[in-house]
A and B are shown apart, each in its own frame.
Chain A
Amino acid sequence: MRYMLLIYNDEAAMANAPRDKTEQTLAAYGAYTEALKKSGAYLAGERLRPTQAATSIRMANGKTNVLDGPYADTKEQLAGFYMIEATDIDTAMEWGARCPAASTGTVEVRPIWEMTDYLS
């Protein structure tokens, strides 16, 4: 099964972290990504630019509304994702727990709604 690991972090805290701390975090993500790839679980993964670079779009009454900023103002912001292949939710959660974000913010584990799931 495919799962998304959605990474939520306090982006202000990340931006204000001292340089050596940031380097350590980046190295931890590098090692984590590598471990995912070596085990064959890795499908995709990217880091997102902070929410100040976000634009939200919504149509209401036939009119397009464009807003600066993210969909919702939250304490922790969506900061990136991994898509992984895992035999079951237990395995996916194991990977979620290993993600460096699990110790700094939150990792949300969501199964992908596969085409085959709603055709059957």
Chain B
Amino acid sequence: MDGRQEMARAAAEAAARQSYGKLVAYLAARTRDVAGAEDALAEAFAAALERWPRSGVPEKPEAWLLAVARRRGVDAVRRRLTGEAARDHLQLIAEEAEAHMTSEDLPDERLRLMFACAHPAIESSVRAPLILQTVLGFDAATIASAFLVSPATMSQRLVRAKNRIREAGIPFRVPEQAELGERLGAVLEAIYATFAEGWSDPAGTETRRRNLASEGIWLGRLVASLIPDEPETLGLLALMLFAEARRAARRSPEGDFVPLAAQDAAYWDDALIDEAEALLKRAAARRIIGRYQLEAAVQSAHTERRRSGSTDWAAIRQLYDALMAIAGSPVVAINRAVAIAEAEGAVAGLAALDGIGADRRLAEYQPYWAARAELSARLGRTADAAEAYDRAIGLERDPALRRFLQTERGKLVRN
């Protein structure tokens, strides 16, 4: 399959997922029954995924899906295959949704659906998977692989979460201003988790279809366009675009890992970086700082190298200081220590790492050991460095990154 065909196929699939998500959101918002809405549309969605890449996207994609859902649904009811819940939805499709379609576009309820999926009453680890399934129609097995959970477990968790939405009466609404901040945080966290899974999954660069990074960006764009007054929605989108802009530079032509400091800025996507900068500027104008804006600002400082040729580590350190203050975590602490090392020297950086070493979560966290190894190596503490490299290598999942760490460790002996 050549590139153009592949793009057309991807576009058709994206269109199918969009219309599907819109319809699930529309039906579920009226019944609170996500699983029933999905059941009613399942066959139509499968048909769209199969047909649209070949036939092209129909002029009114949602109407197409509704028509197929109704036809198949009627058949299924005749065969007594469709459950009670799906039947209610099919009724709704027949009476309400199709009437809507003829006059105007279907109202977009996807944001409400996302707020229901990221509700505090839903366990936090299942929020991002739930959004991926309901808003984008990914199946449990695909989501399970991305989040490194067994397919059976993932589908069980998703079923339980959907039951909870119905039984606990979780509302399908965008929260009032007073509670928006906190609730929006959960939605943004789920979107970022989606992106981060795709970003850390090196295979994602090959299997575009399962590329969670681009799905995360897509969800980010949706939320940023629907709630543009909340600067963190813009901040998160900017953060993801900055990271995405460097995707091609992360691997050498041979498939080897290239660390940020060694990346050739010529491989960065200027258009994405410019878009991210503009978003960040818009967000900053509202003068409400937040974690995603700060993280995006760190990325912005890194990409500055494409113009100036150097990196302002003192500024990056200050941004991490601010991040520690409002959203401290072991990950932020490690990055801050690395920035300190660059700005003030490896001794200060190692001291900062020592300061957080008591956190037990770090024992199994690869970046902590990689950072320790590199700083120890810089100071000529070869034995410490070798030990830390071994920990990092043993904890890494990505073969390219593992090779990189092994090569770095190999350089120790020669010095």
Contact = CB atoms under 8 A, between A and B. Distances in A.
B276 to A, nearest CB: 31
B362 to A, nearest CB: 11
Contacts of B395: 35, 98
Nearest to A36: B394
Binding site secondary structure of chain B: helix
Contact of A103 (B363, B393, B394, B399): B399
Interface stretch (A56-64, A72-80, A86-94): A86-94
B148 A24 contact: no
B197 interface: no
Interface in B370-415: 389-399, 402-403, 406
Contacts of A93: 148-150
B207 to A, nearest CB: 15
A38 B363 contact: yes
Contacts of B363: 38-39
A97 interface: yes
A27 interface: yes
A38 B360 CA distance: 12
A39 to B, nearest CB: 5
B96 interface: no
A34 B391 contact: yes
A51 interface: no
Contacts of A27: 393, 406
Binding site secondary structure of chain A: helix
Nearest to A99: B397
Nearest to B364: A39
Contacts of A100: 399, 402
B153 A102 contact: no
Given A24-B403, A94-B148, A31 B390 contact: yes
A98 B394 contact: yes
Interface string B154-177: 000000000000000000000000
Contact of A89 (B150, B392, B399): B150
Contacts of B396: 98
Interface in B22-65: none
Interface residues of A, number: 22
Given A24-B406, A39-B364, A34 B148 contact: no
B393 A32 contact: yes
Contact of B148 (A28, A30, A97, A104): A97
Contacts of B394: 31-36, 38, 98
A103 B202 CA distance: 11
Interface string A19-43: 0000010011011111110110000
Given A39-B363, A89-B153, A90-B149, A30 B390 contact: yes
A38 B392 CA distance: 12
Interface string B125-150: 00000000000000000000000111
A32 B393 CA distance: 7
B171 to A, nearest CB: 30
B129 to A, nearest CB: 13
A98 B363 CA distance: 14
B209 to A, nearest CB: 20
Nearest to A38: B391
10 contacts: A24-B406, A28-B406, A30-B390, A34-B390, A35-B364, A35-B394, A90-B149, A103-B398, A103-B399, A103-B402
Given A90-B148, A97-B148, A103-B398, 12 more contacts: A24-B406, A31-B392, A31-B406, A33-B394, A34-B390, A38-B363, A39-B364, A98-B397, A100-B399, A102-B397, A103-B399, A103-B402
